[in-house]
Structure 1
Amino acid sequence: MKNSLKIASPQMQTIQACARANKIAVSMGFAENDNNSLYIAQLLLGPDGAILVHRRKMKPTHMERTVFGDASGHCFTSVASLPLMEGDDPVRVGALSCWEHIQPLLKFATLSQGEDIHVAAWPSLTPHSGDGPDMWSMSNEGCMSLSRTYAIEASCFVLHCTAVISDKCVQANGSAAGVLFSAPGGGSSAIFGPDGRLLTQLLGETEEGIIYANLDFDAIMRAKMFADCTGHYSRPDLMFLTVQRQLKSVVRTIEGQDAKLDEVTAGATN
C-alpha cells in the first residue's frame, strides 16, 4: 500500500513535470491509493503534464479482488484527444487494463469513443508451458491475441505493453513455486496496426527496452472502409449498449421535497 501512488502527491507531480519538460504524452498503469483504498488505475497525461484521463479497472481479475476495489461509472470515460505536430489533427487515445480485453461490452464502450491509438496494459506475461496447469489465455500468446483482436475490432493502433520482472521481484512476491509470475522476464510488448498486423520486432522476454513504430493514420481509414463496428458496420436499431457513467457515492443526500417528507414521517413516528 505504501508503494501505491496517490493522484494528488509529489510523486505524481514529478511525473507530470517530466511529461511537461519533455513535451511528451504519457500513458501509465499503476496501483492507486485513494484514502487507503487500492485500485488498478491508468492515467493519460498530455504533453503539458495535464491529466486527460484517469480511470480504474472496472472489475479486478481473480486474486486481484483480494486487494483492489472496483471502478465506478465515471471510469467509462477512458479516451481523450492528444495533439500531434502543429497543424495536424489531434488523435484519440484510450486504454484498458489486462483482462478488461475479454469484456465485450467494456471494449465496445471504449472503442465507441473513437480511438486512434489504444494502450493495452498488461503485467508480466510468460510463454505457455504446454501441458501444465497454467491457462493459455493468461500466457503471452493468449494475451497478445486479445490485444491484436482489439486492433482489428476497433480499427486502431494498439500499444501492447507488458511488464518485465526480475528474480528479485519473484522472490519478493514469493511466487517462484506458483503458476503466474514464477520466473524472471515476461516482456512481450508489441505494436499492432488497425488491420492486426505486427509493426514491431519483439524484444527478448527478459529485456527492458523501448519499441518504436511509425503510425500511418491513413491505415485506420482503409480498415474502417471494410468494417467500422460503431459506424456503418453497426445496427443500433437492433443492438445497442447502455452505459451508466455516473460516479456512485457511498453517501447520497436527500434534498427538497423528499427531505421534507422524511421530516414529516419522522415527526409522525415520534
Structure 2
Amino acid sequence: MSTMSDKKIKVAAAHAAPIYMDKAASLRKVVSLIGEAANESIELLAFPEAFVPGFPYFAYCYAPNAATVSLYAAQSVVVLEDLDEVQAACAKHNIAVTLGISERMRGGHTLFNSIVTIDADGSILGVHRKVQPTWAERLVWGQGSGYTLRTYKPKSAAYRIGALACWEHAINGARQALIDQGQHIHVGCWPALDILEGFEDVACTQIEALMKTHALTAQVFVLCASSYVDERCLQWMERTLGPQDKVKSGGGWTAIIHPFCSFIAGPHTDSQDELVTGEVDLSQLDLVKVYIDGAGHYKRPEIFRSEVDMTLRWKDELEIVGPVAWEYMKKE
C-alpha cells in the first residue's frame, strides 16, 4: 500500500516580469496570474524571487546608493498589510501560492529577501527570509534567521512544501533543514541571472545544477520560477540612476523537475510571461525514497549530524511564521 496520497496535483511555475518598482501594480499582476492559473485548474503556483517589486539589479550596476535602497524600501511588501488582495485571490480560486517579495519589516525599515507561502484558503502559512543575501544584495537586504527555515502542509493537501531563494540553494545546511522536515515539493525562487555581466554563459547552468541537486538529494518535485528583465526595469534604472551596461533585457530559467531529475515541464527561457505547468504525482515518491531517503535511511545520522539554530532572532518573526488566518488579518 502506498504511504503517500496517489493524488496528482497540477502545478505551475510563473516565468514573468514584475511591474518594476511598483508594488501596487506588481501585486495586481500577481492576482491576474492567479486568475490565469485558475483557468488551467492549477492547485499550486510558484512565483520568482523578489517578484514584488522586482529584483534590485541596481545593486549590481551602480555604486552603493542609500537613496536608491530607500526608494526600493518604499515599494517593498509589508506582509501583514499589503497582501490582502493576493490572499483573497488564493481563497477565491482555491490555489496555494509561493510568492517571492522584497519584504519590509512592519513598523520598521529593515528589508529581507522573502518568500511568502499562502494556502488555498487565503491564510499565510509562513514567510521564509533568505538566510544569506548574496554579494551586492547585502547592500539591500538583511539576513534571515533559521527560525524561518520551515516546510508547511496546506490544509487540504497531502504534501509538505518549502522554498529557498536563488543561491541560498548553495547552502547545504539550509537544504538539509527542509529535507529533515519531510519536504515533498520544493520551490526555488530566482531572478534572471544570465543577463548579468559575467554570467551570460553560466547562470542557467548553475540554476539547473542547483535545482536538480535538490530534487535528487531531497527526493522532491521542484518548481523553479524565474523572472526576466523587461524594458521597464532597464528604463527605471537609466532614468533614476543613469546609463548602465551591466544588465540587459531578457533572461530567466523556469522549469518543473522530477525527483529523478527529468523535466516535467520546461525549461522556459523566453522573454515573455508564461505559466510553466505540469502534473506532480505524489505517489511516485514511494519508489524514489526506496533508493534515497535524505531524512531516513540515506542520512546516516550516526555518522553525520546536522543542527539548525531555529531561535527567534527578529522581533516580528512570531507574526509572520504562521499559519496566520486570513480572517484574523482582515480584522487587524
Q: Please state which band the TM-score falls in when normalised by the shorter chain.
A: 0.7 to 0.9
Counterpart position of 1:49: 122
Whether 1:4 and 2:76 are equivalent positions in the alignment is: yes
Q: Give the structure 2 partner of residue 259 of structure 1.
A: none
Instruction: Tell whether the 8 Å contact from 1:119 to 1:161 is kept in structure 2 after alignment.
Output: yes
Write out aligned runs for 1:129-208 (5 A): 133-134=198-199, 139-174=203-238, 176-178=244-246, 182-208=247-273
Q: Kindly tell me: are residues 187 and 134 of structure 1, through their superposed partners in 2, closer, same or farther at Cα, counting changes over 3 Å?
A: closer
Shift of 1:167: 1.7
DSSP 3-state at the match of 2:102: strand
- How many residue pairs match? The answer is 237
In the alignment, is the contact (CA less than 8 A) between 2:194 and 2:251 conserved in 1? yes
**Among 27, 30, 54, the residue aligned to 2:101:** 30
- Could you tell me how far 1:187 is from its partner in structure 2? 2.6
Shift of 1:249: 5.2
Output the CA distance in 2 between the equivalents of 1:16 and 1:190.
Answer: 25
Task: Write the distance in 1 (CA, Å) between the matches of 2:273 and 2:200.
Answer: 25
Label 1:8 to 1:133 Cα distance change in 2 as closer, same or farther (>3 A): closer
Distance 1:148 1:159 in 2: 11
State the partner residue of 2:166: 98
Deviation (angstroms), 1:18: 1.0
Note if 1:17 corresponds to 2:77. no
Larger Rg: 1
Does the 8 Å contact 2:162/2:187 carry over to 1? yes
Which gives a bigger RCO, structure 1 or 2 (Cα 8 Å, sep 6+)? 2
1:203 positional shift:
3.1
- Give the equivalent residue in structure 1 for 2:22: none
Compute the displacement of 1:161 (Å): 0.6
Partners of 1:170 and 1:149 in 2: how far apart?
Answer: 32
2-structure distance, mates of 1:50, 1:219: 29
SS of the residue aligned with 1:187? coil
Gaps of 5+ in 1: 251-270
Q: Deviations over 1:114-168 (max 9, x none)?
A: 111100000113279xxx843765x112112111111011111000110122022
Instruction: Give the whole-Å Cα distance in 2 for the aligned partners of 1:226 and 1:186.
Output: 35
- For structure 2, the 5+ residue unaligned runs are 1-72, 316-332
Aligned-residue identity in percent? 27
User: How far apart are 1:204 and its partner, in Å?
Assistant: 4.1
Amino acid at match of 2:151: V
**2:277 maps to 1:209:** no
Distance across 1 between alignment mates of 2:249 and 2:198? 19
Report the equivalent of 1:123: 191
**C-alpha deviation, 1:189, in angstroms:** 0.6
